[in-house]
């Protein structure tokens, strides 16, 4: 099993400083929050290529059969990765966005409740699934997605994130038997 320590930061392994390409936006979306904006990283072709290259290495280690991306920025990262490694992509969406029968999971946020959905037949074959998202913060959304993957019949094989806010301890909410890799870790 692949394990990435919480203090591991491979953002400069290729000589490209991914952290340098992330913009800090103070007081967004509300006062006191320091928002880590990944859009400059996505705009930079070399930086974005490096993000996908590093996540591709995670795929080589974990051997997923499908990539699941969490709405909405997980779609951007997940579809790029799935295309690069030749795998299918399955979206996990907010309620009411998928057109067929769904499985729904409700979960707690620090400020309320939310829900996620997946097509009921999306993982019917029991495939190995890698969950991809842009950011691991408190871990609630990623943990709910893991619950959905299992409920839909998938075999979770790990998580990949572009960035992680380690001080929020989101890893502790994820299944402890699953590997988690974050390319940029903010203490």
What is the rounded CA–CA span in Å between residue 52 and residue 66? 16
**Known catalytic residue at 110:** yes
Degrees, nearest 5: CA angle 105-109-112: 100
> What is the side-by-side strand order in the sheet with 128-136?
88-92, 66-70, 128-136, 155-165, 180-186
Output the six-digit token pair for 184: 């940029």
What is the rounded CA–CA span in Å between residue 155 and residue 149? 7
Catalytic pick from 65, 73, 128, 147? Answer: 73
What is the rounded CA–CA span in Å between residue 103 and residue 135? 23
Catalytic pick from 110, 164, 171, 173? Answer: 110
The residue ranges of DSSP E strands in the chain, in sequence order, are 23-26, 34-37, 66-70, 88-92, 102-109, 112-119, 128-136, 155-165, 180-186
Q: Which residues are catalytic?
A: 73, 110
């Amino acid at each position: 099993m692949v394990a990435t320590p919480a203090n591991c930061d491979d953002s400069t392994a290729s000589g490209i400083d991914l952290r340098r390409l992330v913009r800090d936006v103070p007081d967004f979306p509300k006062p006191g929050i320091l928002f880590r904006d990944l859009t400059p990283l996505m705009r930079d072709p070399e930086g974005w290529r490096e993000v996908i290259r590093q996540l591709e290495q995670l795929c080589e280690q974990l051997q997923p059969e499908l990539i699941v991306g969490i709405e909405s920025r997980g779609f951007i990262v997940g579809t790029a990765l799935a295309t690069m490694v030749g795998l299918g992509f399955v979206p996990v969406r907010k309620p009411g966005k998928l057109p067929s029968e769904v499985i729904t999971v409700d979960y707690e946020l620090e400020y309320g409740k939310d829900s996620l959905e997946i097509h009921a037949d999306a993982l019917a074959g029991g495939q190995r699934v890698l969950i991809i998202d842009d950011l691991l913060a408190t871990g609630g959304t990623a943990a709910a997605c893991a619950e959905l993957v299992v409920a839909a019949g998938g075999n979770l094989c790990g998580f990949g994130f572009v960035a992680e806010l380690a001080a929020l301890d989101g890893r502790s909410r994820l299944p402890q038997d699953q590997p988690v890799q974050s390319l940029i870790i903010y203490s």
